[in-house]
Amino acid sequence: MAVIAAKPFAFPFDKYKSALVIIDMQRDFLEHGGFGESLGNDVARLGTIVPAVGRLLQAWRALDLTIIHTMECHRPDLSDLPAAKRDRGQPKLRIGEPGPMGRILVAGEPGTEIIAALAPRMNEIVIEKPGKGAFYATNLGEILKSRGITQLILVGVTTEVCVQTTMREANDRGYECLLVEDGTESYFPEFKAATLEMVRAQGAIVGWTALSNDILQGLSDG
Ligand code: TIU
């Protein structure tokens, strides 16, 4: 056991019961021509977290600890895409339509892939999810239970959409959740800041936040 310097107070860390959960670091959100840009966003902001996420990924790999990658995507027949999701926003390209990186947010298309710098290895779990939360309509809960995982270290994009939704789902399911401050990013800096504040408010009502270096220290301490 180790203790990670975190907010609003120290996080008791058992790395053998932890999973690094890397949310939706996909070309569709981080690169030009994908879903994020089609919604009118400046995608460059999101790339700033890649080095910190990469350091955590390497550290988890070096210790052979559980790594989960998630991908937001839909079946090619779009049978898992509700109209309430398809019709939101004023995008130039809707989910399922062809763009420069293939069909937007459709499984198997080039734009849906995780960016090359963080590409999953064969032994790492990849969860394809049709929703914002990684527990909705996936077998993530069963996978974590079978491995005895009780603590989730969360990174990825975007902070207030898929990352926060997953963190809240996990909190309700009894996981201790730590959101990495320099490992998550939003198209809206004020939304990222608000999310960090709200999840750790009221005595860590949803969970903790910490810097990646403090998590790396926790990994080496215990
Ligand atoms: N639009 C936005 O901020 N996010 C998403 O649509 N998905 C994820 O956060 N992955």
Judge whether 145 counts as a catalytic residue.
Answer: no
Distance from the first to the final alpha carbon of the chain:
5
Nearest to 20 by CA among 87, 66, 84, 51: 66
| Span 135-151, pLDDT tens digits | 999 999 999 999 999 99
To test the pocket of ligand 1, the residue of 70, 161, 168, 190 to mutate (highest count of ligand atoms within 8 Å of its CB) is 161
| Pairing mode of beta strands 151-157, 125-129 | unpaired
Determine the 3-state secondary structure of 50 from DSSP. Answer: helix
Give the model's pLDDT for residue 93. Answer: 87
Ligand 1 near 162 CB (within 6 A) = yes
Q: Model-level pTM greater than 0.95?
A: yes
Torsion of CA 152, 153, 155, 158, to 10 degrees: 40
| Span 151-193, pLDDT tens digits | 999 999 999 999 999 999 999 999 999 999 999 999 999 999 9
Whether pLDDT at 222 is above 90: no
The 8-class DSSP code of residue 160 comes to I
How many C-beta neighbours within 10 Å does residue 16 have? 13
Q: Which residues pair with 67 in a beta bridge?
A: 20
| Pairing mode of beta strands 125-129, 66-72 | parallel
